[in-house]
Structure 1
Amino acid sequence: MNRTIVMAALLLTCLRLFCPQLAAAQAPQITLVTHELCPYSYYTVDGTFKGSAVRVVRYALDKMGFQLNLLVTPWSRAQQMVKNGHADGFFAASHNEERDKYATLSATIAEQRWNWYLRADSDLNPDCPTFRPTAHVAAFHGSNMLQWLNSQQFIVKGYPPNTQQLTQMLLAKRIDAMLASDQAMDEIIARNGLERLIRVHTAKDKPLGVYFSKYFLALNPDFLTIFNSHVRDYRETTPENSTRICRLKAYRATRQPSGSNLTDSSDAESGSIKKRPAGKPAGKNTGGYGPAPCNNYDAASADAKPALDNLQLKHP
């Protein structure tokens, strides 16, 4: 372990106790970049930037005595800033080989599952061999999911800047299915009352971490080992996931209609309830998790009428 980093952390602890203003001036700075993706990282109504991933990162860096300079940008730009040497790292990110060329991934700061999301009245099944060569799919711009779809030769018909617009494309029938993060979509579905409109199909587990630039880590050779240790300490001692499960169950209990079959999730935070706009179709099925039967079909037209194009999704 680098004795310089350890001694600096101890010194800053003493300075915080006896001279907090001097401690702030002497703390080493680190510049990280992220984007808005609730519940991992988002602005609250009062303008505070928070989230499950942000909390872990702040905790670890505070324990190490680093002052965090956090920038919020579009996701594609965040990665380019680190690649071009304008920032020290970006989060919350899943692993891919392109990112490995210029940065190193930390220990897991948040769990994530890639899910397929389809309209509830769709007969498509992502496990069927006909899905890949015929279904029109999408993921948001700059995401690892979009890179994976292209590398696997899916028919990609869109890459909007965020998950909210991606959901609008799905409901407007501009695409057949979307690939997105489970926690981000659970937030959108719960807050907008879309449980009966969207069906979910699990794709793969893709945990999230911080990608630190190789240049930064070369200058601070023991940084990642210490950072990872604090991340693990936080995740082992903070019962955040179980708390979120309870909050989501309580939230959905206030809006669950009689006879509906809503599935529990461990991911959405509490929030105000938005009712489904009047006149919006509920779909032929009740939605929920699980595959549809493996049927032959014709891919939905990209020019299908955007019946829900004006749906205004609600997020923190």
Structure 2
Amino acid sequence: MRDIWKLIFWLSISSLNNVQAHELRLIYPDFPPFTYAKSGEPAAGNFLLHQIMKKLKQPYHSRQVPNYKRALNDIERNLADGFFFASQNQKRDQVAQFSKPLLVNNWSWFFRQENFLDPHSKDFKAKAKIASLEGTNTLTWLKNNHYKVVGKQNDVVKLAQLLFDLKRIDAAFLSAEVFKYKAIHSNMRNGQYIEVVQRSAPFGIYISKAYIEEHPQFMPRLNQAIDQVQKQYLPKTHTLSELKR
């Protein structure tokens, strides 16, 4: 009988170690400066994610996908356990659980300096030609609120060209940090644009419901680690400009 209890004990320990050793499969979209795939210093999102996983002592692997639409598709097909960083919406909530927010992401309208339009006017919603990035919540928000969306891009540089060079759109609507990242266009570098902040959206980590079902204690632990990382690296406003490495 004693030998049986010893066996049960060691099997329990082995099972616990296997859970701890499970490598979390995470994905992230090409969304600089929040996430980044090129060599060199990791982008803010990748850096913060790594600090969170260190707090959890959680092995993980992360890979890049083109956009948020692909990220959600991979979660649905069980090709990944979660994705970062993202704002919350109903479609994502169907297959994954949103963590405690870590960052704040401003959604902004961008206009040519000589062509400012009031984004809160009725005429703007009915007539202004607008574009955003494929698979993002900003694009979903535009469509749900019945704006005149005439274009979507995977590449933020092409979106800037549509607005400033080709002048095929009246406004770009997307994450302010993304559009202003490293001044991707001469107008951005020279400050020749007008920005109007529409709303601030919390950014967090989505973990698949399938993973949570197998690891029910993971989300409380994840949220606790997010708290710790916020206090250490984002002590004030939880924006990238306040990030301390």
Shared topology, TM-score over 0.5? yes
* Distance in structure 1 (CA, Å) of the matches to 2:243 and 2:159: 18
Alignment partner of 1:28 is 2:22 = yes
How much does 1:190 deviate?
A: 7.4
Matched position secondary structure for 1:221: coil
What whole-Å deviation, never above 9, does each CA across 1:235-276 have from its counterpart, x for those lacking one? Answer: 11225778x98xxxxxxxxxxxxxxxxxxxx3799xxxxxxx
What whole-Å deviation, never above 9, does each CA across 1:11-51 have from its counterpart, x for those lacking one? Answer: 98xxxxxxxxxx9xx7320001102222211145xx14722
Contact 1:53 1:110 in 2 (8 A): no
* Distance in structure 2 (CA, Å) of the matches to 1:96 and 1:53: 19
Matched position secondary structure for 1:132: helix
The amino acid of 2:177's aligned partner reads: Q
* Distance in structure 1 (CA, Å) of the matches to 2:226 and 2:156: 27
Aligned residue pairs total 226
2:46 — aligned with what?
54
Q: Which blocks of at least 5 consecutive residues in structure 2 are unaligned?
A: 1-12
Alpha-carbon distance change, 36 to 240 in structure 1, aligned in 2, over 3 angstroms: farther
Contact 2:95 2:209 in 1 (8 A): yes
1:180 — aligned with what?
174
How much does 1:174 deviate?
A: 1.2
Q: Which of 200, 206, 231 matches 1:205?
A: 200
The TM-score with structure 1 as length reference comes to 0.65
Alpha-carbon distance change, 239 to 146 in structure 1, aligned in 2, over 3 angstroms: closer
* Distance in structure 1 (CA, Å) of the matches to 2:151 and 2:209: 32
What whole-Å deviation, never above 9, does each CA across 1:46-98 have from its counterpart, x for those lacking one? Answer: x1472222122111212222211101011121121012211001111101111
Contact 2:108 2:176 in 1 (8 A): yes
How much does 1:162 deviate?
A: 2.7
* Distance in structure 2 (CA, Å) of the matches to 1:77 and 1:219: 24
Q: Which blocks of at least 5 consecutive residues in structure 1 are unaligned?
A: 1-6, 13-22, 246-265, 270-316
- Identical positions, percent: 24
* Distance in structure 1 (CA, Å) of the matches to 2:71 and 2:184: 28
Contact 1:119 1:170 in 2 (8 A): yes
Matched position secondary structure for 2:198: strand
> Superposition pairs for residues 69-88 of structure 1, below 5 Å?
69-75=61-67, 76-88=69-81
1:254 — aligned with what?
none
Contact 2:234 2:243 in 1 (8 A): no
Contact 2:32 2:43 in 1 (8 A): yes
* Distance in structure 1 (CA, Å) of the matches to 2:112 and 2:33: 23
Alignment partner of 1:169 is 2:200 = no
Alpha-carbon distance change, 127 to 99 in structure 1, aligned in 2, over 3 angstroms: same
The TM-score with structure 2 as length reference comes to 0.83
The amino acid of 1:42's aligned partner reads: Y
Contact 1:190 1:268 in 2 (8 A): no
* Distance in structure 2 (CA, Å) of the matches to 1:92 and 1:192: 28
How much does 1:191 deviate?
A: 7.5
* Distance in structure 2 (CA, Å) of the matches to 1:122 and 1:81: 40
Alpha-carbon distance change, 27 to 105 in structure 1, aligned in 2, over 3 angstroms: same
How much does 1:217 deviate?
A: 0.7
* Distance in structure 2 (CA, Å) of the matches to 1:137 and 1:241: 33
